[in-house]
Each structure stands twice: as C-alpha cells, then as structure tokens.
C-alpha cells in the first residue's frame, strides 16, 4: 500500500475505496505537490497504527471526509 | 495553538478560519474520539514544518478540504 518513502508518492495505486471510519484515528490529506502529482489520503488505524491509502476519487471517501469535518464539532461553544 | 500534547486535544481553541492553502504540505484530520471530543484539523506548513490548527466549523476550511480532495487527482488513469 505505502511505498518505502524513497519514491515521490506515499501511496502505490489508487488506494481503498471504502473503509470503516470507526477503525481509524487520524487521516492525512497530502495535496498534490512537486514531489507527488496525486492528492493522497492516508488513514492511520487506531489499533495497529497501520497506515492505509484511501482513494481520493472514491465518492465514499469524499463523503466520509465531509462527514467527519461537518460533525457538529460543538467547539463553537468552546472559546 | 497546539497543546503540549499532555492534554487530551491537540488544539487550543477553535483554530484558524482561513489559511493560504499553498503554504501547507499536509493536513491531518483527527475525528472525535474518547480522548478529544472535538474534530481537529491540523495543517503542517511546508517551509517551517510548523503545525497550525484549522477551525473545522469554518466554511472556508470545509471548502478548501473538498477542493483539495476533488482536484482531478488524475490517478484514475494510473493503475
């Protein structure tokens, strides 16, 4: 799934289209850059710390990202 | 902006509403969890590696996240 880091992109191939959101702790979104011409989304699994590439073109992944960010973060009440 | 890590959440307060997308290399989205009841979005600046909390409730931040993910990643042509 992930390259050994020497290559320019972190992910090999498109990545997973679907993943259970409850399994991962953090998601990294790496915009296109001079070192990698693909947007890359990497989820880190809570239990194992394993990193899994997600497919940025997957409707499901896009929907999940929006859902996570939109979840009433109730921080608006926090100063 | 960020706590010293001992607290439960990584970000102090709501975070920035607007940030120049071209300045950061990577964005971490940390869903709510037992250790922090807020969704947290942390951008890492390319040049300095500095981490900046973004406000998940900011329409601008949400729009930027969608834009990054939706940018024709042209990976669909890559196997």
Let me know if residue B78 belongs to a domain.
no
Q: How many domains does chain B have?
A: 1
Closest CA to A39 of B56, B69, B8, B2: B69
CA distance B40 to chain A (A): 8
Q: Which of A62, A78, A79 sits opposite B70 (nearest CB)?
A: A62
Let me know if residue A66 belongs to a domain.
yes
Let me know if residue A48 belongs to a domain.
yes
What is the rounded distance in angstroms from the CA atom of residue B68 to the CA atom of residue B70? 6
pLDDT in tens, B46-62: 889 999 999 999 999 98
What is the rounded distance in angstroms from the CA atom of residue B69 to the CA atom of residue B50? 22
Structural domain of B61: 1-73
Mutate to test the interface with A, among B8, B29, B54 (most CBs of A within 10 A): B29
CATH number at residue B66: 2.40.50.40
Let me know if residue B79 belongs to a domain.
no
Question: Which pLDDT band, with edges at 50, 70 and 90, does A32 fall under?
Answer: confident
Answer yes or no: do B56 and A39 touch at CB < 8 A: no
**Contacts of residue B35, Cβ cutoff 8 Å, sequence gap at least 6:** B8, B9
Size of interface A-B (CB pairs under 8 A): 104
Q: Where are the alpha helices (DSSP H) in A1-79?
A: 59-70
What is the rounded distance in angstroms from the CA atom of residue A30 to the CA atom of residue B73? 11
As a whole number, the mean pLDDT across chain A is 82
Answer yes or no: do B30 and A30 touch at CB < 8 A: no
Contact B48, B4 (CB under 8 A): no
Let me know if residue A67 belongs to a domain.
yes
Cross-strand pairs, B51: B44
Counting every residue written for chain B, the total comes to: 79
Q: Which residues of B touch A74 (CB under 8 A)?
A: 37-38
C-alpha Rg value of chain B to the nearest Å: 14
pLDDT in tens, A42-55: 999 988 999 999 99
ipTM of the complex: 0.79
């Amino acid at each position: 799934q992930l390259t050994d880091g020497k290559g320019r992109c972190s992910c090999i191939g498109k990545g997973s289209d679907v993943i259970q959101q409850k399994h991962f702790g953090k998601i990294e979104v790496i915009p296109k850059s001079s070192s990698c011409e693909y947007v890359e989304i990497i989820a880190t699994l809570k239990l194992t710390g394993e990193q899994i590439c997600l497919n940025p073109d997957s409707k499901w992944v896009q929907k999940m990202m929006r859902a996570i960010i939109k979840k009433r973060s109730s921080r608006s009440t926090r100063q």
